[in-house]
Structure 1
């Protein structure tokens, strides 16, 4: 039973821990500041989880720009489409999440936080504009911010093909 609680993640250096926290703080604070000063809605809960990947494990395939932006867009399109087509019943959100995850995997743009987008959509019932604001704009700002942040800190991001 204790083997289930074995931590396989390697110990992180104090520098990488500090950079992960600082990068996430700056990224989410930037989205919040833009939201507050422009009245454009750029915030959604899955972006907090995206920051975990972008700043804690920037070299993961799941953290790369195509995955972050593509995964969020694809899962939001699926969520918005199925919310428009399906009745508001118990199984519909589950179906949307399942299809979004399968589609991300098939297209090789898996980004785990994006799997929550259909749930946000089914809970909030937003209009089609949700795809642009906050999904595309917010994901793009996070990736751009992560790119600048990592370059300034000397951390390679995004990954380059060998």
Structure 2
């Protein structure tokens, strides 16, 4: 196949446009990697986080709650809320990943605090060992790294609570958020927990329509 004159020029211009400069490619690589979120969906996620953390706060911050039991809010709960309410279809946001991931990371963090005195080494070890443990448990959950680091940065509280830190506030708080996320998904007609189907679809694959794979409804 050959081309002549203006046709070749147009083809060359198209190829040149595709071969953007390294600087432009670098800038583009640093840009958003996901599609824009519809306003209503963003609002839905925000309201979900408001309800989830609001209910947790009302229960935990009540004057009748004894803080010595370890029932308090920790910053990683905010990160968990982002996942389970904003991207409930993500494997990282599923109940197993959230509850087991955060709890396991807390156990690792406490163990490191009890075994290591150096603060810098304690922080690095708690997060790195948590990543390994989460990978083996198939419970990778990014906020879990923050859970482990929270333990490493608060040795006094960890020494008081011991491994109970993994149960309260971590496991109890995460389970509460997940339970609220499940109820909220039912009310707003979304799918959470979200799992891919195993049966074959129209194209003889396990893929269902895109809107279902995203956990959305028409």
Match of 2:178 in 1: 143
- The answer to which structure has the higher helix fraction is 1
Q: Give the whole-Å Cα distance in 1 for the aligned partners of 2:184 and 2:76.
A: 20
Match of 2:42 in 1: 17
Normalised TM-score (structure 2)? 0.71
Compute the displacement of 1:90 (Å).
1.7
Query: Is it true that 1:124 corresponds to 2:154 in the alignment?
Result: yes
Q: Give the whole-Å Cα distance in 1 for the aligned partners of 2:27 and 2:126.
A: 35
Compute the displacement of 1:161 (Å).
4.3
Q: Give the whole-Å Cα distance in 2 for the aligned partners of 1:36 and 1:91.
A: 33
Query: Is it true that 1:73 corresponds to 2:103 in the alignment?
Result: yes
Match of 2:169 in 1: 134
Q: Give the whole-Å Cα distance in 2 for the aligned partners of 1:87 and 1:146.
A: 38
Compute the displacement of 1:104 (Å).
0.6
Q: Give the whole-Å Cα distance in 2 for the aligned partners of 1:42 and 1:105.
A: 27
Q: Which has the larger radius of gyration?
A: 2
4+ residue segments displaced more than 2 Å: none
Match of 2:14 in 1: none
Q: Which runs of 5+ in 1 are unaligned?
A: none
Of the structure 1 ranges 104-113 and 117-126, higher mean CA displacement relative to structure 2 is found in: 117-126
Cα RMSD after superposing both structures: 1.3
- 1:81 is paired with a residue of what secondary structure? helix
Q: Give the whole-Å Cα distance in 2 for the aligned partners of 1:151 and 1:11.
A: 24
Query: Is it true that 1:60 corresponds to 2:90 in the alignment?
Result: yes
Q: Give the whole-Å Cα distance in 2 for the aligned partners of 1:8 and 1:95.
A: 30
Question: Does the Cα contact within 8 Å between 1:79 and 1:100 map onto a contact in 2?
Answer: yes
Match of 2:144 in 1: 114
Compute the displacement of 1:106 (Å).
2.0
Of the structure 1 ranges 138-147 and 4-13, higher mean CA displacement relative to structure 2 is found in: 4-13
Q: Give the whole-Å Cα distance in 2 for the aligned partners of 1:145 and 1:23.
A: 8
Normalised TM-score (structure 1)? 0.94
Of the structure 1 ranges 8-17 and 147-156, higher mean CA displacement relative to structure 2 is found in: 8-17
